[in-house]
Structure 1
């Protein structure tokens, strides 16, 4: 990523907000990023102004950063605005969330030689964006289990607005300590099922009492992460794969049990029924080590 974290590069505007411009290598389509993020009403963004305010926690302290796209897909650039906080760490986190250091050009060239070439050309520059908070990502995965998308989004919004908080327009998920103290009855009032309410509380207790460190887990092997998370009630393979994808940004995951991917492959290969696991194993040959991007672009092809 072509950027500079030197504080001397920051300028303080008339409104007492610190600003810095950064540039990254293209292609990178931030408008597609905002379009996808706009499906979640908790996200504070403006499609016309090409801007989003991101909630960021550092050692439990809530910070916000506003990111505005000023460049093009071919020459991406952004203005970052902060009121306070550790500027270097906040920009590093933004780089993780928006995957600014991932070489999308290399990934597109890789898939240009595969059956996914047409999809990648259509959605060129679409990055794999992380959820803003790993704990929130886990909770969202649990809430979304076995629900249609519209109700899952509404239920998540109710939960965050009831127990989280808002700063500068950005919504923060409640911290693990707060969620661990909730009761099943309180969540049932929001239309959680009893089982789903128990799972959400159990995950929070795993973080607060069971030694699950979501910062430390970022750097561990995927099998180690799987073995840790699978022990927590309510967390299965689907949730773990989604967490690895959208919580940690792992690049080589292909959730074959996902209905969306199955439907996208059915459309791509003009099948009369959903593909079998054996067929999917055959299709994905040659897509590694970027299976996560194959998954993302297949989802995009049917959205």
Structure 2
């Protein structure tokens, strides 16, 4: 049994390393399936990343490939540039980026991002102050940056507490398996289930990812 905790409405509007486990506990106290994950596999990591150009490049590289493949490309780019900055990336030729395992599409996406930062169209420090919807609209205008990339940026980098990345296959598949849902469960139904975890859908998603990764380790 979990100890008594305040209701979710009584918690602060953000999450941090200080209150992350408490929020996990409160979510689990209202959802037996989340409680099962925590009791079986422990608390999830509180995944975080720095608010840098390199981090956004890393997230772009993670689009539709394995995490290991994305990291290999990022490490190759780091070897090539020493420091992954917009200015240094823009000096590289397409061939040099291809040697870092960049596809043609991701080369275009990263160049577009680098140009937006160099031209002052995107300021990552200022982005921290923007509401979710305004920041999403701004990032969506950049080539190759869609809702999944923005969701990961909001969750990992800015620690925005109430994001459910419905386009993330790991989170969605974990939710379907956990709740014993049909494979063809609609996006609307998934969002409806996730709405019960408001205003901490980000933390609930981290519990789902933890479940997904723990099951893969067991196999």
Q: TM-score, normalised by structure 1?
A: 0.60
1:215 alignment counterpart: 125
Residues paired across the two proteins, number:
198
Query: Of the two structures, which has the highest relative contact order with CA contacts closer than 8 Å and spacing of 6 or more?
Result: 2
Q: 2:158 aligns with which of 245, 248, 251?
A: 248
> How do 1:78-227 and structure 2 match up within 5 A?
99-115=16-32, 116-165=34-83, 174-227=84-137
Superposition CA RMSD, Å: 2.1
User: 2 CA distance for matches of 1:282 and 1:138?
Assistant: 29
1:280 lines up with 2:190 in the alignment: yes
Deviation at 1:209, TM superposition (A): 0.9
Structure 1 runs not aligned, ≥5 long: 1-97, 166-173
User: 2 CA distance for matches of 1:271 and 1:101?
Assistant: 33
Query: Is the CA contact (8 Å cut-off) linking 1:99 and 1:127 kept in structure 2?
Result: no
Deviation at 1:196, TM superposition (A): 0.9
Query: Is the CA contact (8 Å cut-off) linking 1:111 and 1:117 kept in structure 2?
Result: yes
Query: Is the CA contact (8 Å cut-off) linking 1:199 and 1:234 kept in structure 2?
Result: yes
Which of these two proteins has the greater Rg computed from alpha carbons?
Answer: 1
Structure number with higher helix proportion: 2
Deviation at 1:256, TM superposition (A): 1.1
Query: Is the CA contact (8 Å cut-off) linking 1:264 and 1:301 kept in structure 2?
Result: yes
Structure 2 runs not aligned, ≥5 long: 1-14, 214-219
Q: TM-score, normalised by structure 2?
A: 0.81
Deviation at 1:191, TM superposition (A): 2.3
Q: Cα–Cα, structure 1 residues 107 and 135, in superposed 2: closer, same or farther, change >3 Å?
A: same
